[in-house]
Chains A and B, each alone.
Chain A
């Protein structure tokens, strides 16, 4: 049991991988200056969440398919979010001629 535990791929491996991917995406979303780049990093974080959901589907509830259906809904919402987010970026660019997030300071007092 111990021998096979060290070699076989379990749910923990997938969860650790998705934690690292989430961390990379979070770093990019917080530290990047370009608004398009922030959207890209949010997509990376959503992919990390999807890896989690599919791994739970395989290892915890393989017959109920809850994880895969959740992942499909996450993909749907992500597609909608990308569409609206890019439209907002293009609309702001038309006003300010910039996509740098440091320039978007209308709400600052």
Chain B
């Protein structure tokens, strides 16, 4: 990837991803956090475009920026009753949490930079959706069905858990 446009796109998208992720963690208003989360997800979809995964970019926008963000807003609206201005605060152990997170990120980034990756020069085939569909229904058909079953179980479980519970008496 030596094209000047892809280099610029990578740094721009990386800046947007990291900046909006930091805003998600740092802001005090929970609704603002969810809005910046949508920005993060859409920038990650742009990164998938850069990596020749166009089908996955569309799935990312549909599932994450669409469904997950809307469900988060639903949960916020159903559970928040006091003032929204200070609804997303830090707890008492945020210093040690910051240390642990910084060490984890630094260690994995250092290891990623140290490793000599053997990357190929082969391009990704241009029609990714076709290739993924073929693989899903031939080689990976059992995980595909298991994922469908998992979604069904999660749907039923979410309905049962969130249903209004009657008192026993």
* A interface residues, Cβ below 8 angstroms from B: 4, 7-17, 19-28, 30-34, 36-37, 39-41, 43-44, 47, 50-51, 54-55, 57-63, 65, 68-69, 71-73, 75-84, 86-91, 93-94, 97, 99, 101-102
Contacts and interface: CB of A to CB of B under 8 A. Distances in A.
B22 to A, nearest CB: 6
Contacts of A9: 1-2, 6-7, 10
Interface in B66-80: 67-68, 71-72, 74-76, 78-80
Given A32-B89, A47-B40, A87-B159, 5 more contacts: A20-B105, A22-B104, A58-B51, A58-B52, A91-B162
Interface of B: 1-2, 6-7, 10, 14, 17-18, 21-22, 24-25, 30, 33-34, 37, 40-41, 44, 47-48, 51-53, 55-56, 59-60, 63-64, 67-68, 71-72, 74-76, 78-81, 87-91, 93-94, 97-98, 100-102, 104-106, 108-109, 112-113, 117-120, 122-125, 128, 131-132, 135-136, 140, 143, 147, 150-151, 153-155, 157-159, 161-162, 165
A8 B151 contact: no
A61 B52 CA distance: 13
B78 A76 contact: no
